[in-house]
Amino acid sequence: MDVVLAISGLMLTVVALTWMTLMRGEDRGPVPSIFGRMGTSNWKAARMSKFSDWQDRMLRAVWRHGENLPEAVLAWMSELYDEFGEMSESEFCESWTARTFSMARSAFELISRSVEEEAGKSVAGEELCYIDYLRDPELGPVGVVRIKSTEVSTPDWGEILGAMAEGVQEFIMSHYCVVWPVCGDHDRGLHVDYFHDAAVWKCKGGAAGGHVVRAIDAPPAGPEGIEVPSR
């Protein structure tokens, strides 16, 4: 009886060691684990579900729920979630506002330099008005930046750049009576438009009914700006 038990124990030990060797890949190479793949897949599905719920709550907090937001904004939210986890609505509103304001300042400085280099006109800094609805989100979207009659409240570079360009363009016309910028081919003022989420200057002239002149953050081909005679 003792011999039988000893042999049975030895066989179990051999089987266990063989299985461990196979699992370590020391014999016939790595052994795929369906349970490992299932675990990873389930973890990813759970992560996506939790992120989707969190994203939905955050977009409601900043008044952006149901909107078709740019991919750059959604990617930034995913990065925030990966780094900080499920941050609260108030913390997210602060991050959203800070990012929007920072981008707006950079875009305003870029457009201001452009109009000064191209048309020789300066833009008064007080024209840029920051409106922060963070303290009372019931009033409207969080982190609004307004310049003249244009406002923006989404931390997306293309949208903010376009809004700042429109505001500066309006200021240049009302303050200096200057049309800026101008299409070199058709001698007419350009308008802000968007091409694949990028802000561009577009001319409405030409046989085709309009054409993109350049990206707003790209340098012009030559001097621009036309004085409008006062009446």
| Strand arrangement of the beta sheet that strand 198-203 belongs to | 191-195, 198-203, 211-215
7-55: per-residue pLDDT in tens?
A: 444 444 544 444 444 444 444 445 455 545 656 677 677 778 899 999 9
Classify residue 189 by its DSSP letter.
B
Integer Cα distance of 70 and 55 in angstroms: 14
Chain centroid to CA 217:
17
178-228: per-residue pLDDT in tens?
A: 999 999 888 899 999 998 889 999 999 877 778 999 999 876 654 444 333
68-85: per-residue pLDDT in tens?
A: 999 999 999 999 999 999
What are 91's two structure tokens? 């913390």
Integer Cα distance of 3 and 182 in angstroms: 100
**What's the average model confidence in pLDDT over 142-150?**
89
> CA gyration radius for the chain?
30
Total residue length of the chain: 231
So what's the pLDDT on residue 24? 47
Residue 172 half-sphere exposure toward CB, CA atoms < 13 A: 28
Where does the pLDDT of residue 137 fall: very low under 50, low under 70, confident under 90, or very high at 90 and above?
Answer: low
What are 198's two structure tokens? 């990028």
So what's the pLDDT on residue 44? 73
154-185: per-residue pLDDT in tens?
A: 999 999 999 999 999 999 999 999 999 999 88
Name residue, tokens 């109009």: 115
What are 123's two structure tokens? 């833009």
pTM for the model stands at: 0.73
**What's the average model confidence in pLDDT over 53-61?**
95
- In this structure, the number of other CB atoms found within 10 A of the CB of residue 113 comes to 12
116 Cβ contact partners less than 8 Å away, ≥ 6 residues apart? 122, 123
